Every structure is written in C-alpha cells, then in structure tokens.
C-alpha cells in the first residue's frame, strides 16, 4: 500500500476517543477532532489535532476525499443523532465509521440508510478501554471489504500487531464485539466468584500474592488477571468499593442472540443475571422467599436488625389455614402441611 497515511474526522473525545486521536496523530495521520463539550477539543488540539467546534465544522475541515467521519459516542440515541447529522453533511463516496458498541441490528439498518445516500459505512467494534493508547485497540470491522482496505492504515495504527481484522458485511463487526463482551461478562464473573471463595476460606490467602502466582504459568492467566493484580495492589481488601455492577447492553444482546440461535449460553446468561442481583442486595424477591420458607417449612428468618425470627410451627389443623396456606389448596396432596423434613 503506497500511501500509509489518511485523514480522519473523529467525533467523540471521551476516554477512548481522546486517546485514539493521540495514537492516530503519532501514526502520522491528519485528525480533525470534535466533541460536544469544548474541553476535550482543546486537549486534542494541544496534541496536534485540527480542532472543530461541532460536527459541521469538522466535516468542513476535512480536505482528503473520500472524507471519513469516525463516531466515537455512546450507543443508542446519541449515535443515531450523530449518524443522521453526518449523513446530511457528507457526499456520495464518503465514509462513516461507528466505533461505538451499537447493536448489530441497528448497524445493519444504518448501513442501508447510508447506502441509499451513496455513503459507505464501517462498524468497528473497539476494545481496549483506557489502556488503548499504550497497548493499542482490538478492532473488529464490518462493512464493504474495499472500504476496509482503504481504511486499513487507520486500523493498523490504532491496533497492536495483528489486533484488527475484517469480520464480514455490515453488522459483523458489532456482532463480534457483542459476543466478545458477553464472554467478558463470564470471565469477570468467574474471577469474582473465585476470589470470593478464596476470601471466605479458612486460610485467608493474600489475594495479591494469588494473582501474582497465577500470572506466571497458570492456565487462568490473562490481561484481566493482570488488572486484578493492579486492583489488589491499590486496595488489598477492595474496601469502600460497592459491589454494584452495571451492564451496558452487550451482555443482554448476546443472551438474546443465543436464544435466537438456540445456543445454550449458560455462563454468559448467569453472569448477566448476577449483575442484576448485584444492584439490590436486599431485593424484595429474597424477602418473599425467606417468608415462604418460614411458612411452609418452618425455617428461621433473619431480620434487618440482625435478630432471628424463630422457626415457625404448623399454623393449626392442616388444610384449614387461610386459603389452604398450610398445606396448599385443600391441605396439599396428603391433606397435611409440609414439615421441615425434606425441605
């Protein structure tokens, strides 16, 4: 490839977008940078990017044809808004790249809209987070192969060696990134569960030392484990960190894809549900379960004050409680209440 440099307009200078600008500039590319708030634009300009106050100005400052607009904004409504504005500003032959975590079905729809305008679209699943500037970004790209070939100098600069690739037609890049994030859910959950088992054990092992040992020769060594080492170095007991784990959509979409494809994705599904559970440590559903266990089995119940409600006895004659509660409607199969045995 004779010309290894490109010009790109990058809109969205958040944690990843801002660092991508720097990496592209270091690779010799001309970058016109824009963002909704001015601070990141000024920071990009200080690194050598051409500043643009808004998307319209960014497109106007692009000199090379075809013009390339890379969207690095949150998926959903923001991406939709920026995408339509970019289409209105660009001309046939120009290229729009979506580097967000957009849902692949939305990407396929947008690609068709772009095609109707004579525009080309690339969906670029981007992984690397805040470490991308230093180690590069893993790029999973969907779209037309000739456009991928034209954009390859950009992808090559952003990624580490062998860290980018063409995944298929529009939607493929975001689909592969979606599954990537689903796998990430499972890996994170497995590490979290494993370290909790260690923490609750009678041996009280040094979790930092555990990570350091596992990072050398172990079959579970990984970049995530390296990050666990950093976390335990900063905060050995993870004190003051609330165990609230959010999800950004990709895990749900992966589970939905598994359902649509009849794939039994046990681990990914369970890890998604575990995130829901993390957000409400005192969920009403568990209060219901505790109350029911007390009613049908006489099991003790713990109160919020820390005391214990003793195990309850049978509430009178089997089958004659309110709505047959002691043994089910009509007193249950044997006409008697369910006792603790066998529960």
Catalogue the active-site residues: 177, 184
DSSP state of 264: -
Q: Where are any strands of DSSP class E within the chain?
A: 7-11, 30-34, 50-52, 68-71, 95-98, 120-127, 138-143, 164-168, 301-302, 308-309
Gap between the Cα atoms of 292 and 89, Å rounded: 61
Angle in degrees, 0-180, between the axes of helices 17-26 and 145-158, rounded to the nearest 10: 90
Gap between the Cα atoms of 36 and 17, Å rounded: 13
Residues listed for the chain: 343
Judge residue 281's burial from the number of C-beta atoms within 10 Å of its C-beta, 0-12 exposed, 13-18 middle, 19 or more buried: exposed
Can you read off the two tokens belonging to residue 144?
Answer: 């037309």
């Amino acid at each position: 490839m004779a010309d290894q440099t490109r010009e790109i307009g990058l809109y969205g200078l958040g944690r990843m977008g801002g660092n991508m600008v720097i990496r592209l500039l270091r690779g010799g590319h001309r970058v016109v940078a824009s963002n909704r708030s001015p601070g990141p634009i000024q920071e990009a300009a200080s690194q050598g990017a051409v500043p643009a106050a808004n998307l319209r100005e960014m497109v106007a400052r692009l000199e090379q044809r075809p013009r390339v607009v890379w969207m690095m904004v949150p998926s959903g409504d923001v991406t939709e808004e920026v995408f339509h504005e970019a289409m209105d500003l660009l001309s046939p032959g120009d290229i729009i790249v979506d580097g967000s975590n957009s849902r692949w079905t939305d990407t396929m729809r947008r690609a068709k809209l772009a095609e109707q305008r004579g525009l080309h679209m690339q969906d670029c699943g981007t992984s690397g987070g805040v470490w991308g500037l230093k180690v590069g970004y893993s790029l999973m790209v969907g779209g037309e192969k000739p456009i991928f070939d034209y954009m390859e100098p950009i992808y090559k600069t952003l990624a580490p060696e062998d860290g980018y690739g063409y995944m298929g037609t529009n939607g493929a890049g975001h689909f592969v990134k979606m599954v990537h994030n689903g796998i990430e859910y499972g890996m994170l959950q497995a590490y979290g569960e494993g370290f909790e088992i260690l923490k609750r054990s009678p041996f009280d092992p040094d979790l930092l030392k555990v990570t350091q040992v596992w990072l050398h020769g172990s079959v579970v060594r990984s970049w995530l484990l390296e990050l666990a080492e950093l976390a335990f170095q900063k905060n050995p007991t993870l004190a003051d960190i609330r165990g609230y784990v959010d999800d950004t959509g990709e895990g749900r979409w992966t589970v939905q894809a598994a359902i649509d494809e009849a794939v039994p994705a046990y681990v990914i599904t369970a890890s998604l549900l575990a995130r829901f559970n993390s957000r409400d440590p005192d969920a009403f559903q568990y209060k219901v379960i505790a109350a029911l266990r007390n009613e049908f089995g006489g099991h003790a119940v713990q109160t919020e004050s820390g005391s214990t409600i003793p195990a309850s006895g049978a509430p009178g004659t089997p089958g004659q409680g309110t709505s047959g509660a002691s043994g089910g409607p009509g007193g249950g199969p044997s006409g008697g209440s369910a006792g603790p045995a066998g529960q």
